[in-house]
A and B are shown apart, each in its own frame.
Chain A
Amino acid sequence: MTTAAARPRTVDTRGFDVARARLDFPILQTEVDGKPLAFLDNAATSQKPELVIQAVDRYYRTQNANIHRGVYRLSQTATELYEGAREKGRAFLNATESREIVFVRGTTEALNLVAQGMGRSTIGLGDEIILTAMEHHSNIVPWQLVAEQCGAAIRVLPMSDNGELELDYLPSLLTDRTRVVAVAHISNALGTVNPVREICRIAHEHGVPVVVDGAQGAPHVRIDVQELDCDFYTVSGHKMFGPTGIGLLYGKAGRLKALPPYQGGGDMIRSVSFEGTTFADIPAKFEAGTPNIAGVVGLGAAMDYLMAMDRPAVEQYEADLLRYMHDRLIAVPGIRFYGTAEHKAGVLSFTLDGVHAHDIGTIVDQENVAIRTGHHCAQPLMDFYGVPATARASIAFYNTRADVDALAAALLKVREVFG
């Protein structure tokens, strides 16, 4: 991003009208003390469009029943909504079949499901798990738990100072003991877009499956799991304009079949006796108990919303806004940026010399500018840069240059207070 200023501006937002999009989000119409909300913490969670709020509301008011059970019409309606959303998930990720889509609580549960499943099947004593230096805690800790259970070891793919993975090291890390590579599609703390397709290609040459943490991917870029050729991909509903507590796990059918169940309960069985149980086929095998049906319906609406957009135009708009943010903030005295990778999306992490990130957060909040401050659940990354915390501004398509201007002005107020 440091070289961004020199790049030519090729703004093409013909297919995207930000002012119109903002009207879809009720919370963006709110103000505090006459100051409009500048919500720049989208990497933590995103705001919800009317369409999603209404879908959840409508479900509870007129469509609520348990799924896969009742012979009555209401249950049939709920089941159709639920399974319909699975098909939307297939289309959203361009998976081959809808049974490759498992509904989960979020990316954290998806990663735990895969890690525990592998831990109980393919990972054993002396085996190795490859992670990267920029992973979120949710793509570190589940693997550490498994490594401990199995007596396996964690290997870490390093990154360069500008926040790009050192892909050249990957082949040397892959051994005949490597059982999995787990990597973030887009770094939540730096915004780096990782070369997932290339990582999959290299790992697959060694017969190793790749798990992609897509929490930050789906809100910003179109996902095509067939093109990426990843074995697993995880999606967080609330980070892509859907409800909290719902997400997707994509897995290649063969990979999902090879995993043992994650939790036992109703809906994930074929037959049960006290002598033993036969499990349902995928995806039901991984969906024990009554799921978050309203969440699934809301997530389905969010996917509808995104799929109806001119995504290339939206991506272009976001890239331009991120560049604008960099160019505006670089004028703030004492600012330092973390993560200056060539391919970035959504995130600008920074510190101000002499000011702790939390003091920045409190002061900009007085201007109704919401940013995240702290370690962003990526403590190894903070250690890498030798900082206890950074401030992080993260955008969504509904942000504007006015939001960025509000942040820039608020950062000058920080300078006023701290000198």
Chain B
Amino acid sequence: MAELRELYQQVILDHNRAPRNFRVLEDFNREAKGDNPLCGDKIAVQVRVEDGVIADIGFQGSGCAISKASTSLMTDAVKGMTIGDATKLFGRFHAMVTGQDRNPDRKTLGKLAAFGGVREFPARVKCASLAWHTLKAALEGAGQPVSTE
């Protein structure tokens, strides 16, 4: 049960129940869709970038608690960040959930540190990272749907 509590931390359960920025942006200039075909997770992310800064971000979709909470917490975290800083944050987040970084910098990651428990569940890493891959695609303007497979 301890590992489970580590995976399903209160902040994750909270963002799963009441996701933030869970809306379609009316005014956006970047967007991307992501899906996790084996799980059935599907999300769409819209971003309004102004002068290289993520001025606003919204998402819609459905998925497991990990993917939904991860998307919700990501939108909170990157709002107001430059594209460069958001990309760096993705790098840190990715290193944490895949277990490459066993001692992630909690200060930089903030609430995202709640996903530290994911590394014990390799099958769930893609649930946590789908949002970030989708955001990256949106910012790069790839236009192609992102798939974790």
A-B contact count, CB below 8 Å?
Answer: 51
**A126 interface hit (Cβ, 8 Å):** no
Bound CA–CA A418/B65 (angstroms): 9
**What does the 1/0 interface line of A349-361 toward B look like (CB < 8 Å)?**
0000011111100
Q: How large, as a class, is the contact surface on chain A?
A: 10 to 19
> Which residues of the partner chain B approach A354 to less than 8 Å between Cβ atoms?
17
**What does the 1/0 interface line of B1-38 toward A look like (CB < 8 Å)?**
10111011000010001000000000000000000001
> Which residues of the partner chain A approach B39 to less than 8 Å between Cβ atoms?
358, 373-374, 388-389
> Which residues of the partner chain A approach B4 to less than 8 Å between Cβ atoms?
362-363, 366, 413, 417
Chain B residue nearest to A387 (CB atoms) is: B40
Using known A-B contacts A356-B65, A418-B65, determine if residue A388 contacts B1 with beta carbons closer than 8 Å.
no
B40 touches A362 (CB 8 A): no
Bound CA–CA A413/B8 (angstroms): 12
> Which residues of the partner chain B approach A382 to less than 8 Å between Cβ atoms?
40
A418 touches B13 (CB 8 A): yes
> Which residues of the partner chain A approach B121 to less than 8 Å between Cβ atoms?
362
**What does the 1/0 interface line of A322-354 toward B look like (CB < 8 Å)?**
000000000000000000000000000000001
B8, B41, B66: the one within 8 Å of A417 (CB): B8
Using known A-B contacts A388-B63, A418-B65, determine if residue A358 contacts B8 with beta carbons closer than 8 Å.
no
Chain B residue nearest to A377 (CB atoms) is: B38
B3, B17, B64: the one within 8 Å of A358 (CB): B64
> Which residues of the partner chain A approach B8 to less than 8 Å between Cβ atoms?
359, 417-418
> Which residues of the partner chain A approach B7 to less than 8 Å between Cβ atoms?
362
Among A355, A356, A366, A417, the most chain B Cβ lie within 10 Å of the Cβ of A356
Bound CA–CA A277/B68 (angstroms): 59
Chain B interface residue count, CB cutoff 8 Å, equals: 23
Chain A residue nearest to B68 (CB atoms) is: A356
Bound CA–CA A413/B38 (angstroms): 24
> Which residues of the partner chain A approach B65 to less than 8 Å between Cβ atoms?
355-356, 359, 418
> Which residues of the partner chain B approach A413 to less than 8 Å between Cβ atoms?
1, 4
Min C-beta distance of B82 to chain A, whole Å: 33
**B48 interface hit (Cβ, 8 Å):** no
A363, A389, A419: the one within 8 Å of B40 (CB): A389
Known: A366-B4, A388-B62. 10 other contacts (CB 8 A): A356-B65, A357-B64, A358-B41, A358-B66, A358-B124, A362-B124, A374-B38, A417-B4, A417-B5, A419-B13
Show the binding face of B for A, using Cβ within 8 Å: 1, 3-5, 7-8, 13, 17, 38-42, 62-66, 68, 121, 123-124, 127
Q: Supply 13 A–B pairs (Cβ within 8 Å), ascending by A.
A: A356-B63, A356-B64, A358-B39, A358-B64, A358-B66, A359-B8, A359-B66, A362-B7, A363-B4, A388-B39, A388-B63, A413-B1, A417-B5
The 4 closest A-B pairs by CB, nearest first: A388-B40, A356-B64, A358-B64, A389-B40
